[in-house]
Amino acid sequence: MVRWSFARRALALLQLFYNPVDSYLDNKTGEVIIPGASSYNGLNLVPQMGWDNWNAFQCNVNESLLLNTARAMVDYGLRDLGYNYIVLDDCWSIGRNSTGYLVANPEKFPSGMKHVADTLHSMGMKFGMYSSAGVYTCGKYPGSLGYEQKDADLWASWDVDYLKYDNCYNQGQSGNAMLSFNRYDVMSKALNKTGRPILYSLCNWGDDNPFDWAYTISNSWRMSGDVYDSFNRPDSRCPCTETPCAWPGYHCSIMNILNKMTPITSRSQPGAFNDMDMLEVGNGGQSDSEYVVHFSMWAINSSPLLIGTNVLTLSPANLAIYSNPAVLALNQDPSGSAAVRKWQYFVNPDETGEGEIALWTRSMDNGDQVFALLNAGNLSMMMNTTLYDIFLDDATAGAYQAPPELSESWDVYDLWANRMSDEEAGSIINGTAPTIGANSNSTTRYNATATSYADGLMNNNTALYGSKVGTIGPGSQSRFSAMIDRHSAGLYRIRQASSTMRKRDEL
């Protein structure tokens, strides 16, 4: 009797843990696909895009800021480029009521959160909410630790679509992966239990190496301390220059965060991304070319792209950066992969960190490759890459023989060549630009609501491919060179040249 009941319990346990899934072989890539394995809740197969108020407004939030920003994003074509989450950050509540539910600040949100969500949804936008996996939020408002299900239920009742979940005041429940995992998992399960699809974005600053564990319970995780609007100024509040990092801190520069990505880029996958933090483009702390580097390197690394500036006062130049469809198509590539830094040299080293140049590359879903020539040094220079550099990983994988890509020719497309002019961006801002439809042949603008990036890429939409600037290959030492200004990056997509493909057909 005892034995029988023990066996039954063992069987029940087995059934609990053994969930058979129908895996299959993807005939195109040769990979074994486990359905559902790429996203714990089916959401965010490409990185989320939107706006978050923190970088520009901190705690100065209210209903009209969110709704006016959303309207401007629709009018400026940003929604139709994919920026569709409006994320409200810290400082929105006044406490909990007697039954333990959070109460929104009625002065800041006089019509209530449900009204904000409904209005955003009517505009084709989605609503993001903020809290902390601690007893307080970072701004010392009530946090969600111990109240996870109540808070998740409340947000779901408001029709919230997204949660940014911070790490302040966590009561010491951190310091190893298990403590952090368990704390963040409670909210993951609570969100799931609501039955509403809610994108779950961890904001735990890279603490306890979330890239090792967060993909099973969330859709993105911050991999560094908070960004600030500086290209490369070291700041003692952000002490680490490498991953893993014991003390994430904050005030991390663009180059600091980028270089911390290098060992962990392979942890990005469809449904679960390394989050390099919100964009600073437009906030005034960097030059135009530095913002282009920031935007390009976040895009190539599959970081979520959350506009972090005041959209209502956006300049034409900054709108042009946020709106480059060729760069957005790179970020939104169905591969959901990230980039690899193939090399880094210090050409003019000094203790301020000036002088770094680097080559980053990434494989695209359709067989294209993208590469960035990054000059973070202080002098313009001619930068070079060879086909060997670009296909290095194929050359060293297993067979140690030259990959077939080296015997082909590749057309090189400059992804910033068709950046829209300030004139054109200005006409979007003042409402005189034409709308963009599904069959648009614009080289500067794109409408991802009308045609997804995946479809546009498949159909060779001109706005998604930049402009052809050369051909490279065949031959491993075949070289592409470009003059790259100081604190600038060249961003290129290479596509197998059609002449090579004809040759292969003739063989």
Q: Which residues are catalytic?
A: 166, 226
- Interface positions, 24-43, toward ligand NAG (CB under 6 A): 24, 27, 41-42
| Nearer to ligand NAG (CB atom), residue 154 or residue 415 | 154
> Can you read off the two tokens belonging to residue 385?
């890459």
Binding status of residue 432 toward ligand NAG by CB under 6 A: yes
Choose which of 94, 123, 177, 381 interacts with ligand NAG (CB under 6 A). 381
Give the range of 15-23, 91-99, 298-306, 393-401 binding ligand NAG by CB under 6 A.
91-99
436 binds ligand NAG (CB under 6 A): yes
266 or 460: CB nearest ligand NAG: 460
Site for ligand NAG in 360-379 (CB under 6 A): 378
The candidate with the shortest Cα–Cα distance to 308, out of 376, 233, 228, 234, is: 228
DSSP-derived letter for residue 479 is E
- Residue 259-298 contact track with ligand NAG, rule CB under 6 A, x = bound: ----------------------------------------
Residue 153's closest CA among 109, 206, 191, 207? 191
Beta carbon of residue 476, minimum distance to ligand NAG (angstroms, whole number)? 16
Q: Which is nearer to ligand NAG, 295 or 410 (CB)?
A: 410
Helices in 174-300 by DSSP H: which ranges? 177-194, 254-261, 288-300
Q: Could you say which of 407, 449, 467, 471 contacts ligand NAG (CB under 6 A)?
A: 449
Q: Is 98 exposed, middle or buried (0-12, 13-18, 19+ CB in 10 A)?
A: exposed
| Number of helices followed by number of strands (H, E) in the chain | 15, 20
Binding segment toward ligand NAG, per CB under 6 A, in 15-23, 126-134, 170-178, 445-453: 445-453
Least separation in angstroms between residue 83's CB and ligand NAG is: 12
Q: Which stretch binds ligand NAG (CB under 6 A): 54-62, 176-184, 293-301, 386-394?
A: 54-62
36 DSSP 8-state letter:
T
427 binds ligand NAG (CB under 6 A): yes
Q: Is 169 in the site for ligand NAG (CB under 6 A)?
A: no
* CA pair distance 86, 70, nearest whole angstrom: 7
Write the CB contacts of 89 (distance below 8 Å, at least 6 apart in sequence).
52, 53, 54, 58, 61, 130, 164
Q: Is 111 among the residues that bind ligand NAG (CB under 6 A)?
A: no
How far apart, in whole angstroms, are the C-alpha atoms of residue 505 and residue 507? 5
Q: Does 435 bind ligand NAG (CB under 6 A)?
A: yes
The answer to the question of residue 447 lying near ligand NAG (CB under 6 A) is: yes
Q: Is 423 in the site for ligand NAG (CB under 6 A)?
A: yes
Q: Tell me: does residue 5 bind ligand NAG (CB under 6 A).
A: no
CB neighbour list of residue 193: distance below 8 Å, 6 or more residues apart: 149, 152
User: Cβ distance 55 to 308 under 8 Å?
Assistant: yes
Q: Contact between 388 and ligand NAG (CB under 6 A)?
A: no
Alpha carbons 217 and 181: distance in angstroms, whole number:
8
* Shortest separation between residue 288's beta carbon and ligand NAG, angstroms: 14
Instruction: Pick the closer one to ligand NAG by CB: 249 or 355.
Output: 355
Q: Cβ–Cβ contacts within 10 Å for residue 386, how many?
A: 18
Is residue 430 part of the contact set for ligand NAG (CB under 6 A)? yes
Q: Does 19 bind ligand NAG (CB under 6 A)?
A: no
Binding ligand NAG (rule: CB under 6 A), the pick from 258, 383, 395, 406 is 383
CB contact burial 177-186 (16+ within 10 A = b; e otherwise): eeebbebbbb
192 near ligand NAG (CB under 6 A) = yes
Contacts of 105 (CB under 8 A, 6+ apart): 92, 93, 94
Min separation Cβ 11 and ligand NAG, Å: 22
57 binds ligand NAG (CB under 6 A): yes
Report the nearest approach of ligand NAG to the CB of residue 43 (Å): 7
User: Whole-angstrom Cα distance, residue 126 to residue 161?
Assistant: 6
Binding flag, residue 80, ligand NAG (CB under 6 A): yes
Q: Which of 44, 48, 62, 361 binds ligand NAG (CB under 6 A)?
A: 62
* Subset of residues 299 to 358 that bind ligand NAG, contact rule: CB under 6 A: 350, 352, 354
Kindly report whether the peptide bond that precedes residue 244 is cis, defined as omega within 30 degrees of 0.
yes
Q: Angle 22-25-30 (CA atoms, 0-180°, nearest 5)? A: 155
Q: Which is nearer to ligand NAG, 208 or 354 (CB)?
A: 354
Residue 118, Cβ density class (10 Å: 0-12 exposed, 13-18 middle, ≥19 buried): middle
The half-sphere exposure of 232 on its side-chain side, counting CA atoms within 13 A, is 20
Residues binding ligand NAG: number (CB under 6 A): 44
Tokens encoding 219: 């859709």
Point out which residues bind ligand NAG (CB under 6 A).
24, 27, 41-42, 57, 60, 62, 64-65, 77, 80, 97-99, 101, 154, 192, 195-197, 350, 352, 354, 378, 381-384, 423, 426-427, 430, 432, 435-436, 441, 447, 449-450, 459-460, 481, 495, 498
